[in-house]
Structure 1
Amino acid sequence: MVQVLVGADSLNSLSWIDQRFPVDTSTSKKPETFSVTEDEAPSVQLTFPSVDSPRVSIVVPVYNQYATTISCLQAVLENTADVDYEVIIADDCSSDSTTRIADRVINARVVRHKKNQGFLGNCNAAVCQARGEFVLLLNNDTNPQQGWLTALLDTFDQHQRVGLVGPKLLFEDGLLQEAGGIIWRDGSGWNYGRGQSADAPEFNYVRDTDYISGACILFRKDVWDRIGGFDEQFRPAYYEDTDLAFEIRKLGLRTIYQPASEVVHFEGVSHGNDLNSGIKKQQRINQGVFRKKWRGELLTGNRDLGTDVFDARERYNSGTTVLFIDHYVPFYDKDAGSRSTFLYVKSMVDMGYRVKFLGANFFPHQPYTETLQQLGVEVLYGERFARNWKLWLDENGKSIDVIYLHRPHITEDFIDEIKSLENCPRLVYFGHDLHYLRTEREAAITDDNKLLKVAADWKKRETRIFDQVDIVLYPSDVEVKAVQEISPGTNVAQLPLYVLNAPDVDAFDFAARKDLLFVGGFTHTPNVDAVLWFAAEVMPQILFADPDIRLHVVGSNVPEAISNLASENIVVHGFVSDGELESLYRSVRVCVVPLRYGAGVKGKVLEAIESAVPLITTPIGAEGIPVPEQVMDIAEGAEEFASKLLGLYTDESRCVRQLAVRPGYVAKYFGAGVVRAAIEQHFACESQV
């Protein structure tokens, strides 16, 4: 169940937080590691898959430390699946049991040099032997965790212009070692998040970063070849990984931190920790080499030591940052409002905006939170943000350009605090629908005078919000006109509810389809009323004409009144997966949206348009849709609804005519270009890509 802090409850917000977050559970879980002693290591035998055409070449540079290497390889073998990979052990003239590693590690390729090359030279020589499209450099003092490689590879598929990807690096106790690296103007570096909880929200979303520590980095082999590998001037080691990230960025490609991939790094095993002795001393020397090579880039693209960490961690120097505030992370597969919010988040990310998301219940609902994080959205959740969101906004408000507020009952809990900021960002409000108008219509249908008082209260609350924001957005022209009437000075505009894909109208096979479909979440009372009314007033007329027709009812949070409708001709599915819903859309002949009251553009109507299924609805259902008669039938009252529905259901040519205009219609009114233009106009921000 979703609990949201609203209305009068907000007056006792600290009590609410105490109940919701009784214990601080932010400690990190200890990761799985493979402990292999020097005595045990020679008896361990590992067999890797034999792969003719690997997608990834995992290159493990080694110099002695046989037991450490075996531990690493055991973790790779145990925790890598669903990827065709090869392992290349790059032996830099070891003198211990590593000289016999080929006898104990089967199907791994061993590249051995005649003389010691040092870390940098060892890597350069070994990568030349790689057969994979991708190369992964992996220190031998690491233990990758389950699913690590798949998550890294998926980043290349899910994001644009990716050049290099690295994981979340953990200490053995589970605390964070690095969530990407920051390079400062003087060439020094920070392991962002070091020593903090690996589960904290700020370390768990995909983002650009200055560099990734070379303990584990994935890149395309052809990109490595274009650059020429690690720059030889950083021999024998240190800053070669940082330099590689900068070289990749010079090609117009991105270096990305991927938190879904986790790797334990036993820091200091390879080279120690003392900066004044051994090879670690080279780290200080190579900082100067790096600073000299990249002086111009550091001056223009990086910050002074320790400043503006909020922006520096993302290598964010220009563009638009938008903070979404809604009731909770969008349940994009359960209700129309959430789907709309999600599509706008995705559209803004695709346009190059930096997006932050605050759900008013501060709970990381899954898989929805991780979906946002994998898009590159920082989601603020947990007790720390529930108690300190205002402090977070005070500290970082100068980096936020727009706050995008949703729904009146959520907005009123945040807006006064937001308005008190020294530099208040642009405030954009999206009400989803006019609550007062929807409630007035419900009162008229149900003849409930108490609802008129509720509607009057909503009108007062919504009008107060209008007076406090820079622009008000609604999805229908009806609502825009209503706002202009009740609040003449308000800056109000229309925003498309959804971004729609072109419907595949050729997939509609009239003869192969049958039955009716209603889709809608049942926490929304107009949907409950619609199905009950249709079942009682319309369905009997349909069954009189054709007793074999069935109505499929789909939606989350089904109340008992709807469940009780289940019969031979009414199938109550409840919540279904996206795949199951798509299957229903492909099998039914007509979608019905028999709404008697409500306000705003209806998501279920747009989904039916996008899904290439003939549609019939009421004037309320069609409200706010541009020229709706082009793409749907509209009927009012039970008799007209039944008559038009039967006419549509039995007339193939009528169905085909309705569908034929939809691709052009969608492109004109709900296409990605239309939504992109609306965002640029109403958010007063230009696209970054």
Structure 2
Amino acid sequence: MNFTILVPTFNNFEYLKLFCKSIHENSTFNHQLIFHVNDGSDGSYDFIKQRYQFTYSKENIGLCSSINEASRLIKNNYVIYAHDDMFFCKDWDNHLLNSINEETDNMFYFSGTNISYKDGIINYDCGNGPDSFDRAKFDLFCKNDQSNDLQGSHWAPHVIHKDLWDRVGGFSLEFDPGDGSDPDLCMKLWKEGVRKFKCISKFKVYHFGSVTTRKGNIFINNGTKKFLLKYGFNPRFFRKYYLQGDGKNSYKGPLNKPEFTFNMIIDLLINKLKFYYYKLLQ
């Protein structure tokens, strides 16, 4: 099965080349790669123009707008959103396909497992950039690791069916340049009836970690506040009580609507107080 992979990029040329290398060398199938190039003056525009389908903006328009632009070129049924600073493991697409083939419908949101030198689902140091990346160490870890699939995934790389993508309208542009966009997408899917949010253990990526935002000259939106004002509770509440996942809970199947508990009521009241406080400030 061929997937469509959507990737925004903003002057991360060395990471971008490593990402493309992983897709070409570690995939079983021939996937459709679509990039949205923001600026691209570091050489990434010319590199992509010669090799891949892409959309383009002269300036950085943000993650949400970038992905929605690129999504106009989708040709396949299953859509993956990925970062340009990721390295996909060997046979990642076979592992993903095996999970998809276990399903009887397309009402699911699946994620890969992020490996990183810090702040990953699994922390395992294989380098903090293209020059220091230890591919052999990463390959060996992927081969030997026996971690379980996890409950409540809400992170990239993720895959959903194109029908779901179209129904929810892709990413919400009010979350540009991107903070809070992943839980917002999951919340929109939840409202559409999706209850399977699974992180696939064998589908691993090494993630160097928000390279674009680490540059220090990028405006970061307050995604937590935006999410709270949109839904009445913050992303942490959604992850805890709806998705029931913090990167530690083994996958147990479809989720149910959260049941009110004392702790949930207290957390919800705190969220409501914050909600009305922000409303008063508007």
**Same topology, TM > 0.5:** yes
2:14 to 49, 53, 67: 67
Partners of 2:104 and 2:177 in 1: CA distance: 33
What stretches of structure 1 of length at least 5 have no aligned partner?
Answer: 1-53, 180-192, 305-310, 322-348, 354-689
Alignment of 1:474-623 (within 5 A): none
Does the C-alpha gap of structure 1 residues 271 and 241 become closer, same or farther in structure 2, counting only changes over 3 Å?
A: same
Q: Deviations over 1:350-388 (max 9, x none)?
A: 8989xxxxxxxxxxxxxxxxxxxxxxxxxxxxxxxxxxx
TM-score by length of 1: 0.31
Bigger relative CO (Cα 8 Å, ≥ 6 apart)? 2
Deviations 1:481-515 (A, max 9, x none): xxxxxxxxxxxxxxxxxxxxxxxxxxxxxxxxxxx
Shift of 1:62: 1.2
**What is the Cα deviation at residue 233 of structure 1?**
1.0
Rg: which structure is higher? 1
Matched residue pairs, number? 236
Query: Could you list the runs of 5+ residues in structure 2 that have no partner in the other structure?
Result: 126-140, 257-282
CA contact (8 A) 1:237 1:279 kept: no
RMSD, matched Cα: 3.5
1:218 aligns with 2:159: yes
Q: CA deviation at 1:160?
A: 5.5
Aligned position for 2:175:
234
Q: Counterparts of 2:235 and 2:43 in 1: how far apart (Å)?
A: 44
Aligned-partner Cα distance in 2 for 1:300–1:138: 25
Distance 1:160 1:299 in 2: 30
Aligned counterpart, 1:38: none
Q: Report the Cα offset of residue 146 of structure 1.
A: 0.2
What is the CA–CA distance in structure 2 between the aligned matches of 1:158 and 1:229, rounded to whole Å?
Answer: 25
Whole-angstrom distance in 1 between the partners of 2:184 and 2:248:
15
Query: How do 1:279-290 and structure 2 match up within 5 A?
Result: 279=218, 281-282=220-221, 285-290=222-227
Answer yes or no: is 1:272 the counterpart of 2:205.
no
Quote the offset at 1:266 in angstroms: 0.8
The answer on 1:262 being equivalent to 2:204 is yes
Aligned to 1:86: 32
Question: Within the alignment, does 1:251 sit opposite 2:192 as a pair?
Answer: yes
Please point out which of 126, 131, 147 is paired with 1:204: 147
The alpha-carbon distance between structure 1 residues 112 and 315, as it changes in their structure 2 partners (threshold 3 A), is same
Q: Secondary structure at the match of 1:128?
A: helix
Distance 1:131 1:291, change over 3 A: same
Q: 1:62/1:248 Cα in 2 relative to 1: closer, same or farther (>3 Å)?
A: same
* Match for residue 246 of structure 2 among 308, 313, 317: 313
Q: Are the equivalent residues in 2 in contact too, given 1:79–1:147 (CA < 8 A)? A: yes
Post-superposition CA distance 1:39-71 (Å, at most 9, x none): xxxxxxxxxxxxxxx731112211222222111
| Structure 1 CA distance for aligned equivalents of residues 89 and 205 of structure 2 | 6
Aligned counterpart, 1:130: 74
One-letter amino acid of the counterpart of residue 188, structure 2: E
- Work out which of the residue numbers 152, 176, 201 in structure 1 matches 2:96: 152
Aligned with residue 23 of structure 2, among 61, 67, 76? 76
Letter paired with 1:143: F
Measured at CA, do residues 160 and 281 of structure 1 come closer, stay the same or move farther in structure 2, by a change above 3 Å?
A: same
Q: Does 1:170 align with 2:96?
A: no
Change beyond 3 A, Cα 1:260–1:92 = same
- Percent identity reads 17
Q: Which runs of 4+ in 1 moved over 4 A?
A: 193-196, 296-304, 349-353
CA offset digits 1:419-456 (Å, max 9, x no partner) = xxxxxxxxxxxxxxxxxxxxxxxxxxxxxxxxxxxxxx
Q: Give the letter aligned to residue 256 of structure 1.
A: K
Matched, 1:95 2:41: yes
AA partner of residue 93 (structure 1)? D
In the alignment, is the contact (CA less than 8 A) between 1:302 and 1:315 conserved in 2?
no
- What is the rounded CA distance, in whole Å, between the counterparts of 2:43 and 2:8 in structure 1? 15
1:392-407, aligned counterparts within 5 Å? none
Q: What is the deviation of 1:96?
A: 2.2
Indicate the residue corresponding to 2:130 in structure 1. Answer: none
SS of residue in 2 equivalent to 1:279: coil
**Aligned partner letter, 2:81:** L
Kindly state the Cα deviation for residue 151 of structure 1 after the two structures are TM-superposed: 1.5
For residue 315 of structure 1, report the CA deviation from its aligned partner: 10
- Is the alpha carbon distance of 1:252 and 1:263 closer, same or farther for their aligned partners in structure 2, counting shifts above 3 Å? same
* Gap change, CA 1:143 and 1:303, over 3 Å in 2: closer
The aligned runs of 1:97-112 (5 Å cut-off) are 97-102=43-48, 104-105=50-51, 108-112=52-56
Shift of 1:295: 2.2
- CA apart distance, 1:143: 0.8
